[in-house]
Amino acid sequence: MRFHARAPGKVILLGEHFVVHGNPALSAALDRGVEAVAEESNEDIVISRALGAECPIARPTPSLTPLCLSLRQLLGDRSWNGVKVILETAIPVSAGLGSSAASAVAALVAVAARFGGHLNGDELYEYAMVSERAVHGNPSGVDVYVAINGGLVYFKGKKRRQVVPYKRFPIMVSCTGIERNTGELIARVAEFRRKAPDLFRTWATSSERLVEDCVKALEEGRMDVVAESMNFHQQALKAMGVSTPELDALVREARGAGFAGAKLTGAGGGGCIIGLHTGADYQAALDAFRAKRPNSFLSYVPSEGVSSWSTQS
């Protein structure tokens, strides 16, 4: 038997970085992510096609260390052994789209199923956070929460809830192709906060108000409010030093192509932007934009959280 699990990547609509400092973020699952397949094997090993890496879970290569730490803890706690895990990803890695969280969640679910076990939401969250902490020290947990639960999520510390938008809406994702290190970017914002505490407080407070306003706006279908809030956040993220000339250029082009709101998503420093089109002709806008920026796609919000199934090998 082969045990499959698929977990979504995510975008942050509003509030990245501020969420690390206890403020809220709004995040949405993507309609694509990471698929893990687990099967019986003589030794515990992981293979990641996207990273071109393969290693024993007990002796991980650097790129697979975070994931292997999560798996090792699960296998140790349950006294399980004898599993091969293969990961395939449909989202770019190190691009701010939550691939590490989606990999951990999908792999943990597939491995538990391989041994006839089950992880409840809290257990899954805690095991996946082992990997996230190894990736960047001080994660808010939003990526893991969205990979598990999917949907459109309001996330502020332990306060987490689904937001039900007025109707399902498309979000455009466009990637620079530049990989970056989330831990370094989090440290950059912490340094900004240390040097300019008053300014940081003003922006964090404004961000929080905008997130709260946007929850209502999304529920009522006032997408122009969300687009304007995205633009505010881009400005603040840029001033805190986590945007880049490549991200700024993508944001400018997206706005020029008709996406009323455009901002970087995730930690910044490379990675991707998102664009929100508030009119009906978003497909034409995407086609025009993609002609120049082929590394772009549309995803629909809300999308599903982790799912699992099995096949005969």
- Check residue 26 for interaction with ligand MEV (CB under 6 A): no
- Check residue 140 for interaction with ligand MEV (CB under 6 A): yes
Q: Total binding residues for ligand MEV by CB under 6 A?
A: 13
**Residue 147 gets which letter from DSSP?**
H
Please confirm, yes or no, whether 281 is among the known catalytic residues.
Answer: no
Which of 207, 296 has the CB closer to ligand MEV?
207
**HSE toward the beta carbon, residue 298, CA cutoff 13 A:** 16
- Check residue 16 for interaction with ligand MEV (CB under 6 A): yes
CB of 11 to ligand MEV, least distance (A): 9
In the range 213-272, which residues lie near ligand MEV by CB under 6 A?
266-267
DSSP reduced 3-state for 31? strand
CB of 136 to ligand MEV, least distance (A): 7
Contacting range for ligand MEV; rule: CB under 6 A; set: 10-18, 157-165, 199-207, 293-301: 10-18
Report the helix count and the strand count for the chain, using DSSP H and E: 9, 12
- Cα→Cα distances 237→140, 192, 267, 276, Å: 17, 11, 9, 17
Quick check: 221 and 166 in contact, CB under 8 A?
Answer: yes
Contacting range for ligand MEV; rule: CB under 6 A; set: 15-23, 162-170, 172-180, 278-286: 15-23
Sheet with strand 261-265: strands edge to edge: 261-265, 272-276, 169-175, 296-301
Which of 142, 152 has the CB closer to ligand MEV?
142
- Cα→Cα distances 262→36, 235, 255, 299, Å: 32, 10, 6, 15
Contacting range for ligand MEV; rule: CB under 6 A; set: 30-38, 140-148, 214-222, 251-259: 140-148
Which of 5, 20 has the CB closer to ligand MEV?
20
Quick check: 2 and 45 in contact, CB under 8 A?
Answer: no
Whether the upstream peptide bond of residue 60 has omega within 30° of 0, thus cis, is no
- Name the token pair of 248: 């700024």
In the range 148-207, which residues lie near ligand MEV by CB under 6 A?
182, 186
CB of 17 to ligand MEV, least distance (A): 5
- Check residue 17 for interaction with ligand MEV (CB under 6 A): yes
| Site residues, ligand MEV (CB under 6 A) | 12, 16-17, 19-20, 139-140, 142-143, 182, 186, 266-267
Please list the active-site residues. Answer: 143
